[in-house]
Every structure is written in C-alpha cells, then in structure tokens.
Amino acid sequence: MTEERLLEIKNLKKYFPVKAGVFRRTVAHVKAVDDISFHINKGETLGLVGESGCGKSTAGRTILRLLEATEGEITFEGHNLLELDKRELREMRKEMQIIFQDPYASLNPRMTVADIVGEPIDIHGLAANKKERNERVTEILDTVGLGTEYMKRYPHEFSGGQRQRIGVARALAVDPSLIIADEPVSALDVSIQAQVINLLQDLQKDFSLTYLFIAHDLSVVKHISDRVAVMYLGKLVEVADKQKLFDDPKHPYTQSLLSAIPVADPTYKSDRIILEGDVPSPVNPPSGCRFHPRCPYAMEICSEVEPEYKDYGEGHYAACHLLEQE
Amino acid sequence: MSKEKLIDVKNLATYFHTEEGTVKAVDGVSFEIYPGETLGVVGESGCGKSVTSLSIMRLIESPPGKIETGEIIFDNKDLTKSTQKEMRKIRGNDISMIFQEPMTSLNPVYTVGDQIMEAILIHKDVNKKQARQESIDMLTKVGIPLPEQRVDEYPHQLSGGMRQRVMIAMALSCDPQLLIADEPTTALDVTIQAQILELMNGLKDQFGMAIMMITHDLGVIAEVSDRVAVMYAGKIVEYTDVETLYANPKHPYTWGLMHSIPHIEKDVDRLQAIPGSVPNPLDFPQGCKYNTRCPFATDKCREVEPEIEEIEESHQVACWHVDKLEEAKAKEKKEKEKE
Amino acid sequence: MEWQEVLINLLRNKISLLGIFIILFFVIIAVFAPWIAPPASPRDPYMIPRAGWSPQPKPPNEEHIFGTSENQYDIFYGIIWGTRTAFRVGLIVVGISTFIGITIGTISAFYGGMVDEVMMRVTDIFLSMPFLVAAIVLTTILGKGLDNVMIALVTFGWMSTARLMRSQVLEIKTEEFVEAAEALGASDMRIIMRHVLLNTIFPVVINASMRMGSIVITASSLSFLGVGAPTGYADWGQMISFSRNWILGTQGNALQFWYTVVFPGVAITLFCLSWNLVGDAFRDILDPKLQN
Ligand SMILES: Nc1ncnc2c1ncn2[C@@H]1O[C@H](COP(=O)(O)OP(=O)(O)OP(=O)(O)O)[C@@H](O)[C@H]1O
Ligand SMILES: Nc1ncnc2c1ncn2[C@@H]1O[C@H](COP(=O)(O)OP(=O)(O)OP(=O)(O)O)[C@@H](O)[C@H]1O
Ligand code: SF4
Ligand SMILES: [Mg+2]
Ligand SMILES: [Mg+2]
C-alpha cells in the first residue's frame, strides 16, 4: 500500500467560550479539542473513539470548517483548509463530506428525497439540465440501495436505516474523497446497523473513499477501521494500527476502555479494569495528564507534567508517562 | 427446576388502542423468574420490552393501553387483577424499577436524599432521622463518594453515572425481591456502564434479589443474564439459558442478530446484515412476524404464526423451520472447515 | 406536514371552517361592494354618501337599511365599503410588517454576533414604546390619513414577528440538516431560503393571521380617536366614532341609537374573530407536529 496522506491535522484546537454575567463576558473556555495531531492516508478508515463529550464530533466538524478552529493546521490534499476564503471553501466542500448520527435531524423534513439528494448537484452545478440531474439522483439512490419509487417522498416516510441511506446518498452526490461519518450507526436498530456498515464498506471500495469514522462502539470501530485513534477529554491518547491497538494497547485509558466492552459471549471472561469516577469537565481539565485522576497507574509526575504525544514505533502513537519511563 | 417461581407471567398481552389502530405491543408472552436469578430480555427498539415491564408494574397508561389477557402471578396473587392501591404497596417495596434516562426519572426539585427517603418512609416503619440515615447507607452501598454531602444535592448536580447510582439506591432501599432494570446503561458511556453493571452484580448477591434486565445490547445480556428471552415484534421468539442461546441459537432472528453485529473478540470481513426493517406495529405481517426478513421463510410462515414450543429441555423457540436453520449452521461450519 | 395537508386539515376543522366562511363572506362583500352599495359618485366611492345635514342619527328605514349615523352618513354603505378598507389596512400592514420582521429576525439569528446585538437592541427600543401612543404620535406628525396610519402601524408593528422569527431561526440553525447544507457548500442565501425559512415560517403565518384582526382594530381605534381616515371615509372605526355622542341614547331611552354602534361593532368583531379562529386552528393543526 502506498501511504499517501490525504488529511493531516497539526495541533488542532477548538475552544468554546463560556459566557456569563449581564455583559456576557467570556469567563472560561470549554477545551473541546485541545491540541490534537494525526493524519489519514488515502483510502483508509481511521476510527475515532472516546466517551461522550470527549470532543469527537467537535474535531470532525472543525476539520470540515463547520466550526472555526481556534488554532492549528488542517492540510487536505496539499491545501491548508484554514487559509481558504469562503468561496474557495465552498468549492473544496465537494471533496469532503459528513454523515450525521441522527437520521431524523439531519434531513430537512420539508424536502423530498429527490431534492435532498439533488441539492449538492444543484449547488455545484454538477448537472447540465433537469433530466441529467434526475438521472444522477436515480443513480445515487440506486447505489445506496434505495429505489426510484422513493424519490417523491418526504423523510418522515422512511425508517431510520433508510434515512441514513439518504444521508449517505447526499454525501456521495458530490463525489467526495473524504467522508467524516459521525456515529452513523449509533442511532439505528441493532439489526439495521450491519446494513449501513456494509454499505459504507462497499462504497469505500467502489469509490475509493477515505473515512474518518467516529463512534463510541468499539466493536464497530474495530470492524470497520484500518487504524484507530482514541480520544480522552479533548486530547488524543493513542493512535495505532487497529490490530496493534486492540492486541497491545499502550495507554491505560485504552486498556480500560477495551476491557469495559461487554462481550457477546457468556463464556468469555475478561479481566475488567473498572475505572473510578467520572470523566472530568473539559472546562477545567486536570493538570498534567488529563487521565491521571482515574488512572490505575498514576504516578506523581502524571499530575504535574503533561506526557508527550509521540511515536512509539511503526506509527503507534501514545501519550503516557509510563511509556516514557520504559 | 424444583425452585419456587418468584414471578410467573402467563400469556400476557398488552395492546394500545390508538387513533390509527391497535398496537399489539405485547402479544402473548410467557416467562418466569426464579428468586436470585437474572433474566435478560433482549430485542430491538419497539419490540415491547418496556411495555412488558410496565405491565408487570401495572404502570401502563390507560387509555390507550390495556392488559388484554394473561396472568402475572407474584406471591400467589395475580397482579393483573390487583387494585392500584394494592399495586402501590408492591411497587418500590417488592418490585422496583430503574429506567434508561436517570434524569427524567428523578424529580429535579427534590434533593437526592428526599427522594430516597420518600420510598423508605412509605414502605417502612421508621422516622425521618432513621430514613435519612438509611438513605446515606444506601448511597454508600451504591458507591457514591461523600454520601453525607451528596444526600443533600439535587439531581442536576450529579453526572449521568451518579444519577443512575441514585436510581439504584432508590430502587433497592426497600429490599425488593425483584428489580426490573429497563436499559439502565444505554445512556451511559462504556466505562461507566462497566461500573454500573459491576455494581448491580455485586448488589444482587448482597441483597439476594432477582433482576429482569432489559436491553438491546447482546454484550450486556451475555454478561449479566442467567437466562434470556429474545423478543421480536411483541412476542418472545426464543427463551433459554444464556450459554445455550449464544452457543446454539435456534431462532433465525437470534441467529441473524448474532451474525449482524461485529464481535470484538473475532474478526470477519463482512457482517451478515438482516435485510429489511422491523415491521410497523400497526401493520404486522400475517403469520410469523419475522417472515418478511427471514431467509428460511416459506408459505407456511406467511400464513400461520408459530407458537413458542420447548424443542429441547428448557429451550423454547417459536419457529416452523428450526431444522432449516440447523442445516444452514452445518453448511456454514463445513465452509469454515474448508478454509 | 405539507401545505396541502395543512389545508385539508384546516377545512376539516369545524372552528377554522367557520373562520374561513366568515372571511370568505367579507371577501365577497369587498369584491362586490359596487353592486351591493352602488356609489353615488364613482370617482370617490370610499366617501360615504350623506342623506341630509341633521346631526341626529336616524334609525333603519327602507332607504337606509342600517339607518344613518351622525350627520346622516349611511351606515350600510359605510360597512360595505369599510370591508375593503379593513382588508387593505390589514393585508398591507400585516404583509409589510411581517416581511420586515422575518427579514430582521432571520438575519439577526442567522448571523449572530454584532449583527444580532445591534438589530435586537433596535428592536428593544421600538418595543419599549407603547404601541398605540407611538402610532398616534407618528400619525399626527405625518398628518391625518389612512396611508399614514398604515405607515405608523408598520413602523411599530414588526417587532413581535422579528422576535418570534429570531427564536425560531436560532432553533433551526443548529439542526443537523442545516449543517449538512453548509457542508455541501450551499450559500447563505440558499440555506436561509431552502432550509431555514421553510421550517420556520408556519408559526409566523399563524402569528400573522392572528394579527390581521388586531391590526384592523388598532387602525379603527386611531380612526375613532380622529387621527385616522378623513371624515366621511368608509372605515369601521370612523363609523363607531360617529356614534360616540349617541352611544348613551337619550334620557329614558338608552338604546335609542343602538344601530350606530352595533352594525360597525359587529363587523369589526366578526372580522377579528374570523382571523383568530383560523389562526387558532392553524396552531392546533401544527402543534402536534411542533411537539414531535
Ligand atoms: N457549540 C458548543 N458550545 C459550547 N460547548 C460545546 C459546543 N459543542 C460542543 N461543546 C462541548 O464540547 C465538548 C465536546 O463535545 P463533542 O460534541 O465534540 O463530544 P463528542 O465526543 O462528540 O460526544 P458524543 O459522543 O456525546 O457525541 C463537550 O463538553 C460539549 O459540551
Ligand atoms: N402509550 C403508547 N401508546 C401507543 N403505543 C405505544 C405506547 N407505548 C408504547 N407503544 C408501542 O408499543 C410498542 C412497544 O413499545 P416498547 O416501549 O415496549 O418498546 P421497547 O422494546 O421498550 O423499545 P425501546 O428499545 O425503544 O425502548 C411500540 O410499537 C410502541 O410504539
Ligand atoms: S417461522 Fe418461518 S419466518 Fe418465522 S423465523 Fe421461522 S422460518 Fe423464519
Ligand atoms: Mg458527538
Ligand atoms: Mg423501552
């Protein structure tokens, strides 16, 4: 495999101001994404996991510039996205798309399926006339497994799984190279999830797509990803090849996360590492290593110095003092 | 089994009579729970898990809901025939329940302590001071740090995991014989879910109660249950002990479900998705309700609904073609061996 | 729910059907006014013909079926042609002020930040002035006349729509489908027109239909207070103002001049009621949808 980087993120930060008082002054910041760096190779799937509120969605949206980054660098196919002006950015959006978690909120309830899927074609002038547009819409709907008989219907007439297919069709319509999928199956029925996962995998093959796949379900991430990134409280704690990450997790948080997954096999007995306490607030994250108050191996240095995020060989990145001491 | 049944649900059916038609949310389910065991109830959204548990608690909104037929025998009494007054005595005392969304099931204007104390004061003969002490003890038992301080806090001051602990503390405060847990960890993160499941397991041994665990997560079910009932479209389609279910599923739906989810401990290239979607409850198909999605369905399945039957000792299945599934399994095994 | 579906529901709902019937009734009167009450001078049909110069109203009779008011203005004629005035004032004032409200509310919420801050402070300033007093003052400054009344009512009548629109747009703006459109590279204009407005317009329509009635009442009050339509102009408010000196009747016969107030009063009340009925029904029909 030639490892050509499609997307490269450097020191990306996204802080949300917390406003208070009569004058709505900024009193603090939610450090939703706080200095993360990673890359995605062409044609691969990078899974991004972490607990609720750790900043996964914020990272995804900031990369697409749906949110303005506070700091950092986003290089996509050689362009620095943060330097594009509004017009250039709109043009660039053809190359990067997003699929949302909620198949109900992400489709305009007052537009027909044909209009939802046709909108990107209209925006970018991808069809010369109405007939061509219709053909293209039909083709895309067919690709995601929806028949043309649905074109005139409104989103509420569809089941969750079908709606998610419409969302995928809309993203595909501009023929992007990168798709950020923000928990695309979390809201779906168990028996429907596999349909959408399979669809995403098929499309990846057929259209040589690159995915940033955000999820909190580690089994799903393991199934679909080539590499996996683990986030905790706005920071990346570990990024590695899937097999390496699951077989040999280096960061204590990854270890406990993996051990916490309930396994669908009653004979399987895991050595569970039960973490103490809850995830702290991203407004006032713990000093040093953000994981130290919950970490079973925390040392003195952990509460004082932030561990460096670095490569521990063959692209296995992690940020933990234990590793530095080894 | 010679043990006395704690609760025996026989042919329970609960319908909702809505403007658009009758929703047969639960349509003839039978199961029993023995003292001290955990019965897992698994199924997809809308299959009737919550309605089953609410029927046991007699908390079905009526109208539009109504328990149409069936018996729920608890303590030699049929709960379907109990008055609401009798039920109030049972709820929270003999049978308690915890819900998926801990925020909406706690009252935001009362402190945590007030809410636990309320349950204790209703069902036990103690004074306020003793009740408060018992509340603090309960919070300690469910692993809430600084219970003396937390007891005076309001629900919004707690995290999701803490709230669920408070719910559990409330539910267990009167030492119930049966705890019904309706997706208690669905809204929580995995690491918090692990905490709560471990807590429930520990408390079960300590209090010696039975648990009816409702979830759609096959992983959680495998982890906590002794026996499992698989529900689909208002019916139990398979009912057996947990090891048998996972090792040897006999209903095509159970089998399909297990193949359609990614398993963390083994890799497959491609998931075997179940085609189609869950049927509309207002418009269930005739015959077996799974026939629109089942790879083995025949005309018989489309006409006559199979009853749940014991096909092996303590293994009940509702399917006309258990043999076909066995053939498919054998074929699958052969192919694997070839590789 | 789509427009057709809403319409069907409106027609099914008995209350709204009643409202629609009354509105239709007024529409027919307005359209056929020249036939129902032929004007004396076709050049200026809105001036009510006078049947003499006596100040005392005369009760209904064969020639003037609703009677005549102070100074012998024909009440029937005034009511019929006043319907046109009511529609004109209502539609123009509600139309323009709703448009202004929608524009300001949408831009304010969509762009946020300083734009929002400035626009909302301006809205607050306008809101802080008592509506009727401000309208009277402005009409007085601009000069008596129906057009000036309308200008005044528009000037001080757009804020509630702007507020409503702003809160609606703020809610819709964060919806994922709006984000999806942005991610597709849609322009702001396109997002506003196709995604935001399409999903926020219903409550504003309800609000506008409710305001139809109240605007006509306010315009009438201005006429009643003498800053509205010129004397003799066919306007319901003016008709009531003609009855001002006669409402109490004469000694021993309090109801002697009932017709001077009842006919225009009924007209205004029915007009206002019909729009409210339709607005209410609208809300009931759309509410379950809004709760979903
Ligand atoms: N627009 C916003 N304004 C302020 N804070 C925000 C905003 N969006 C997100 N946050 C905060 O940023 C943090 C990260 O949120 P984010 O939605 O990225 O988490 P996530 O990892 O996607 O979680 P989930 O699994 O629940 O989707 C959270 O603490 C959240 O409250
Ligand atoms: N109050 C009600 N009125 C009408 N129908 C109802 C009502 N409550 C539940 N239902 C219907 O009964 C069926 C079963 O619902 P139930 O809540 O038991 O599902 P569930 O298995 O608990 O699903 P979930 O996993 O989503 O909680 C559904 O089709 C639902 O729409
Ligand atoms: S009865 Fe028929 S349709 Fe139903 S599960 Fe069995 S084989 Fe499938
Ligand atoms: Mg998210
Ligand atoms: Mg439920």
Give residue A64's pLDDT.
94
Query: What's the rounded mean pLDDT across residues A108-116?
Result: 91
A238-261: average pLDDT: 93
Residue A165, token pair as written in the block: 């297919």
Regarding predicted confidence, which is higher, A163 or B100? A163
Q: Which two tokens stand for residue B173?
A: 């405060």
Q: With 80 as the cut, is the pLDDT of residue A181 above it? A: yes
Mean pLDDT to the nearest integer, A105-128: 91
Output the pLDDT for position B1.
47
Chain B residues with CB-CB distance to A233 below 8 A: none
The DSSP secondary-structure symbol of C63 reads S
What does the pLDDT read at residue C292?
Answer: 39
Which regions of chain C are under pLDDT 70? 1-3, 249, 254, 286-292
Q: What is the pLDDT of residues A57-76, one digit of tens each?
A: 999 999 999 999 999 999 99
What percentage of chain B exceeds 70 in pLDDT?
99
Residues of chain C in contact with residue A174, where contact means CB-CB under 8 angstroms, are 184-185
Model pLDDT, residue C225? 82
Q: Which of A94, A106, A111 sits opposite C176 (nearest CB)?
A: A106
Q: List, for residues B228-275, the tens digit of each pLDDT value.
A: 999 999 999 999 999 999 999 999 999 999 999 998 878 888 899 998
Residue nearest to atom 27 of ligand 2 (CA): B45
Residue B257 phi/psi, 5-degree rounding, is -60, -45
B3 phi and psi angles, rounded to 5 deg: -60, 150
CB under 5 Å of ion ligand 4: residues: A 57
Across the interface, whether the CB atoms of B243 and A257 are under 8 A apart is answered no
Average pLDDT, chain A: 90
Ligand 3: does its nearest atom lie under 6 Å from the Cβ of B296?
yes
Task: Kindly report whether the peptide bond that precedes residue A266 is cis, defined as omega within 30 degrees of 0.
Answer: no
Is B187 in CB contact (< 8 Å) with chain A? Answer: no
The fourth-level CATH superfamily of domain C3-291 is MetI-like (1.10.3720.10)
Q: Note the pLDDT of residue C2.
A: 61
| Ligand 1 cavity residues, CB under 6 Å | A 16, 30, 32, 50, 52-58, 216, 282
pLDDT for C287 equals 60
Tell if the pTM clears 0.90, that is, is over it.
no
Q: Does B39 touch chain A (CB under 8 A)?
A: no
**pLDDT at C1 (0 to 100):** 52
Tell me the C-alpha distance between C3 and B111, whole Å.
47
List CB contacts (< 8 A) between C4 and chain A: none
Q: B23 in ligand 2 pocket by Cβ < 6 Å?
A: yes
Determine what percent of chain A is predicted with pLDDT higher than 90: 65
Query: What does the pLDDT look like over B16-67, one tens digit per residue?
Result: 998 888 999 999 999 999 999 999 999 988 899 999 999 999 988 888 889 9
Is A120 close to C198, i.e. CB distance below 8 A?
no
Domains and CATH numbers, chain A: 5-95+176-251 (3.40.50.300)
Mean pLDDT is lowest, of A44-53, A184-193, A285-294, for A184-193
Closest listed residue to residue A287, CA positions, set A306, A307, A259, A262: A306
pLDDT in the model for residue A191: 84
**Would you call A260 and B191 a contact, using CB atoms and an 8 Å cutoff?**
yes
- Residue B102 is predicted with a pLDDT of 64
The Cα–Cα gap between B197 and B191 comes to 10
- A-B CB pairs within 8 A amount to 136
Q: What is the DSSP secondary-structure string of A121-167? A: HHHTT--SSHHHHHHHHHHHHHHTT--GGGTT--GGGS-HHHHHHHH
- For ligand 2, the distance from its centroid to the CA atom of residue B338, given in whole angstroms, is 45
Beta-carbon separation of C198 and A110 below 8 A: yes
Is there a contact between A51 and B189 if contact means CB atoms under 8 Å apart?
yes
Separation between Cα atoms, residue A254 and residue A235, nearest integer Å: 13
pLDDT of residue A303: 92
Interface test with A, best of B225, B277, B294 (most A CBs within 10 A): B277
Q: Could you give the CA distance from residue B110 to residue A66 in angstroms, rounded to a whole number?
A: 40
Measured in residues, chain C has a length of: 292
> Which atom of ligand 1 is closest in space to residue A59's alpha carbon?
18
Ligand 5 centroid, distance to B181 Cα (angstroms):
10
Using a threshold of 3 CB pairs under 8 A, tell whether chains A and C touch: yes
Q: What is the pLDDT of residue B338?
A: 83
Alpha-helical regions (H) of chain A: 56-63, 86-92, 113-123, 130-143, 160-172, 190-207, 218-224, 242-247, 252-260, 321-325
| Residue pLDDT, tens place only, C252-274 | 776 777 777 888 888 889 998 99
Predicted local confidence at residue B103, as pLDDT: 64
Tokens of C79: 């009511």
Of C175, C183, C187, the CB nearest to A98: C183
Enumerate the residues of chain A whose CB falls inside 8 A of the CB of residue B247: 267
* Ligand 5 center to B59 CA (angstroms): 13
